[in-house]
């Protein structure tokens, strides 16, 4: 599943995928894969991304229960 919340939060901070990747210590391709839903990041990486973007795990990574 695409992570549009991550993409939106990154854009709101005016960060490129490359800039966010540099902040959290991964490649741009990793950030791209997370946003596309092709990669399931570790909890450690999720936390690093949240800190870099000033968001919580719930705001960026928690999936809502389908009703």
Q: Helix, strand, coil % (nearest 5) of the chain?
A: 65, 0, 35
> What is the per-residue pLDDT for 25?
98
Are the CB atoms for 47 and 57 separated by under 8 Å?
A: yes
For residue 37 the two structure tokens come to 């839903």
pLDDT in tens, 10-65: 999 999 999 999 999 999 999 999 999 999 999 999 999 999 999 999 999 987 76
Q: Which of 25, 12, 48 is nearest to 4 (CA)?
A: 12
- What structural domains does the chain harbor? 4-61 (1.10.260.40)
pTM over 0.75: yes
Instruction: State the number of CA atoms in the 13 A half-sphere of 37 facing the CB.
Output: 6
pLDDT at 60: 95
Contact criterion met (CB below 8 Å) for 37 and 46: no
């Amino acid at each position: 599943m695409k992570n549009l919340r991550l993409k939106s939060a990154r854009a709101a901070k005016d960060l490129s995928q490359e800039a966010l990747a540099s902040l959290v210590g991964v490649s741009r391709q990793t950030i791209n894969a997370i946003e596309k839903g092709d990669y399931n990041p570790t909890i450690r990486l999720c936390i690093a991304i949240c800190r870099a973007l000033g968001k919580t795990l719930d705001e960026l990574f928690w999936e809502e229960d389908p009703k």
